[in-house]
Amino acid sequence: MSSPRWDIVVVGGGPAGIAAAVRAAETGASVLLVDDNPSLGGQIWRGAEDNSSLRVARSWRERLKRSPAQVLRGFRIFDQPVPGVLLAESAESVREIPHSRLIICTGGRECFLPFPGWTLPNVMGAGGLEAMVKSGVPVAGKSVVVAGTGPLLLPVAAYLRKRGARVRLIAEQASRAAMLRFATAFASQPQKGVQAIGLMWQLVGVPYRLGCWPVEAKGAGKVRAVVLQQGGRRFEVECDYLACGFHLVPNTELAALLGCELRDGAVWVDDAQQTSVPNVYCAGEPTGIGGVDLALVEGQIAALAATDKPREAQQLHQLRARHRAFAAALQRAFALREELRKLPCPDTLLCRCEDVTFHRVAKCQSWREAKLHTRCGMGPCQGRVCGAAVEFLLRWNIESVRPPLFEVRVESIAIELTVGPTPQVSQGAEG
């Protein structure tokens, strides 16, 4: 179960994590990259197909292979029993991971807002449907509506269309005025503008409605149609799949468990990407949704700072500032509109893990009270779906994060309870 003490442990194998692991290992530090998936890249690089994304992903993956960094795939961090030691579980075993410094790159996840019918089969996240198709689910000839908000909608729609789906409509809740203001941000990021134009070209003929959002999914056994609202008008579109996501939210659970300060739903970091906890750094989406380019820069800065290379890290600050400015414009453009707070009906399921309706949760005064009285957030997802929805719908703070961060086996919890002080062991390689 135990392993050598690593100079640097990086949690998360997306762009930020790969960049952090590479730059840290290239300084001569002993580095372990831990990811819960069988392959690295995160959702953004997993199965990347467009030329620009593929080139960047391939370049960093090759650089990781050439580096002395070790990779541990298929392991999910679920607790820190004592400072400087993480516990990770795979399908077969539990691993104790001692370290001197930690870089958290746990990425983000789709935000789901409940509305009548959102739990019907074939209603799923936009990124979720894309991932399923990449895994082999056929969509050729199927009618798909892509709805919600955020820059993910266009590439998902383009990918599904490339795979033979009939994309009936793209519904973006952001207003036309907000999108026009966002267009000016491309002046500082022309390559992103080129990418956006390329996506729009791939989607020629697909209606793209602004100020439009889903209010109900209809069907018996599975979705057959979605009701959308645009201004004062409601209309219905038949579909076999509804791919719906309301932008992304940071995965902050591990950082919160370690005691890192959170601000506005993201991990606070200083100029060196260091959190409020000494020797714990954070990069990428947990510090705020900003996209792959910002994640790559932040991962490198965190690695250089964590390996005591402040001058090299400072050389990347200006590039980070440019990407952060674009990320801020993105957040303003795709901010959720007030009308979406009225999406759920009283009997709409809010917590689908525990079958808790919106009405039952809304009667409570806080997240803690809702958990105590309704078990909202106590199911397998541990509040990762309903928690983000509650934050928006009821303006609550989701404050309680406790181990284990994920469902684990009973024997893993038993091991957790027996872990003593951090073992003093020599460095070594881990596959």
Residue-wise pLDDT tens digits, 6-56: 999 999 999 999 999 999 999 999 999 999 998 898 877 876 666 667 888
Residue 296 lies in a domain: yes
Q: Considering only CA atoms, give the Rg of the chain.
A: 22
Using CA atoms of 67, 70, 73, 79 in order, give the dihedral in degrees to the nearest 10.
-130
One domain for residues 324 and 365: no
Residue 398 lies in a domain: no
Residue 402 lies in a domain: no
* Helix, strand, coil abundance in the chain, percent, nearest 5: 35, 25, 40
Range of the domain at 319: 6-109+249-330+410-418
Residue 48 confidence (pLDDT): 60
Residue 316 lies in a domain: yes
Residue 125 confidence (pLDDT): 95
Q: What predicted TM-score, i.e. pTM, was given to this entire model?
A: 0.92
One domain for residues 270 and 352: no
pLDDT band at 427 (very low <50, low <70, confident <90, very high): very low
Secondary element (H or E) of residue 250? strand 248-250
Q: Are 172 and 208 in contact (CB under 8 A)?
A: yes
One domain for residues 129 and 45: no
From 131, 109, 117, select the one nearest 384 (Cα to Cα): 109
Strand 143-149 and strand 166-172: pairing? parallel
Residue 382 lies in a domain: yes
Residue 32 lies in a domain: yes
One domain for residues 303 and 326: yes
Q: Are 255 and 273 in contact (CB under 8 A)?
A: no
Residue for token pair 């934050």: 391
Question: What type of residue is 19?
Answer: A
CATH number at residue 202: 3.50.50.60
One domain for residues 303 and 349: no
Among the candidates 218, 246, 274, a domain finishes at 246
One domain for residues 158 and 207: yes
Residue 325 lies in a domain: yes
3-state secondary structure string across 191-240: HHHHHHHHHHHHCCCCCEEECEEEEEEECCCCCCEEEEEECCEEEEEECC
Among the candidates 246, 271, 290, a domain finishes at 246
Residue-wise pLDDT tens digits, 242-256: 999 999 999 999 999
Task: Name the domain count of the chain.
Answer: 3
- Least confident window among 20-24, 52-56, 77-81, 373-377: 52-56
Calculate helix-pair angle for 317-333, 176-183, nearest 10 degrees: 160
Residue 425 lies in a domain: no
One domain for residues 98 and 168: no
Among the candidates 197, 230, 246, a domain finishes at 246
Residue 418 confidence (pLDDT): 66
